[in-house]
Each structure stands twice: as structure tokens, then as C-alpha cells.
Amino acid sequence: MTLEARKIRLVMELRQQGITDQAVLSAIERIPRDVFIPAAFHDQAYENTALPIGQGQTISQPSVVGYMTQALEVGPRMKVLEIGTGCGYQAAVLSKLCRRVYSIERYRELLRDAEERFRTLRIGNVTTRWGDGMKGWPEQAPFDRIILTAAATEVPPELFQQLGADGILIAPIGRTSHDQVLVRYRRKGDEWETENLWPVRFVPLLDGTVNDVKTRSKTTIELNRQDS
């Protein structure tokens, strides 16, 4: 089966699993997932499964990307903040649905690879930063939507502060990988509506930044020890 046929099969599977927003399905169909994963896994690019991308991180399974994107309720004039660029796949899907994506990644090596993919695919409305996702991107706030692609025990207050009026923030919340739930927060003035959506399993959200493996300093090694 060709990659194109596998892509079509995947989109049909996602529709059957409850992803009904045609704009979201179209964005997933237009973004070549095989570009965002290591060559060794290209034969699994259009399977509904998570795959390793290096640095102990993964690309989420397409159904999770679809569900989260659909639940985010993105519009074409919106500005979206993503915490955790990873390989860049989620940001690429969002780029087809909103005006601009701002994406933060703590692993510089992953970020460089993601930026190269954006250039290859001529995705020009994604702006990236190497930094601590827990601090958000205050210079560009407020955001219409915020999405976390790593799990937290609670959403950092700085991110809530950067969400605009009537904004939506989506995050995996849980103390361990076995009790995570995807939570949607809606801002209503100074109040928040909270809705638990479905169980998920994400890598943990960590503070700070990590340098390239080849140039890690003693300070970075100590940071990694604290994170483990």
C-alpha cells in the first residue's frame, strides 16, 4: 500500500473514531506525517500510533492530535500558543487552521529539526522559540488558544494569564502517565469552565531548557538529574 493510500485509510479511521470537524481532518490529510518522524519508522507513519522522535520524546498518535485539535476549536483568525514543539507535527496541523502558531520547545535539537521541516514544507505562519514552556510567551500574549503537548500536575499560572478573553486552553493533567486526563479550560471573563475530556498518556512537562547532546554543559547535566 502506498503512503497516500495509508494516509486516506488513516483519515477514514479518524472519522470513524469521532473526529468529525472537516477542517481538522483536512489539515491532517494535508500534512505529511512521514516528514516528522525518523526514517526507520516511515512504514508506520500513517498508523494510528505514537512513535519515538528522539530525546525521549514521541509524536502523538494521529487520533490524539485530531481530538486535541478539534477540542481546541481553532478559527482562521486566531493566534495559538503551543507548549512543546517536539517534531513539529501538531504545530504544522494547527498552521492550516489558524492565523499564526507560536511554539516553544525545551530541546534545542528537536526544535532545529522541526524548524527545518517547516521550511521544507513552506509553512510560514509558525514562529518558534527555544525556552521554558512553563513561562509561556508573554511578549506575544494574549493568545486565543493554548495547547500543551506534555502533561502537567496543574497548568502553570503564567499560561492562564496569557490566555485572552473567551480563550480555550487544553492540557493533559495528571501526576503519573497512568492517571492523565485531557482537560479543556474555557475563560469566561474572570471565571473558568473546566471539562475533563478523555484519558491520555503524555511525557511530562518539565521546566527549563536542554542544550544539544554534543554541547551539554555541566549545568545542563545537573538539570537533567533534577528532572529525572
Active site residue 60: yes
Residues 93 and 65 sit within 8 Å (Cβ to Cβ): yes
**Residue 76, C-alpha cell as written in the block:** 482562521
Query: How many Å apart are CA 169 and CA 93, to the nearest integer?
Result: 17
Tell me which of 60, 95, 177, 217 is the catalytic residue: 60
Q: Is 116 helix (H, G, I), strand (E, B) or coil?
A: helix
Positive or negative torsion for Cα 40, 46, 48, 50: positive
Q: Which amino acid, 70? A: Q
Cell representation of residue 22: 472537516
Residue 164 burial by CB count (10 A; 0-12/13-18/19+): exposed, middle or buried?
middle
* Residue positions annotated with a catalytic role: 60
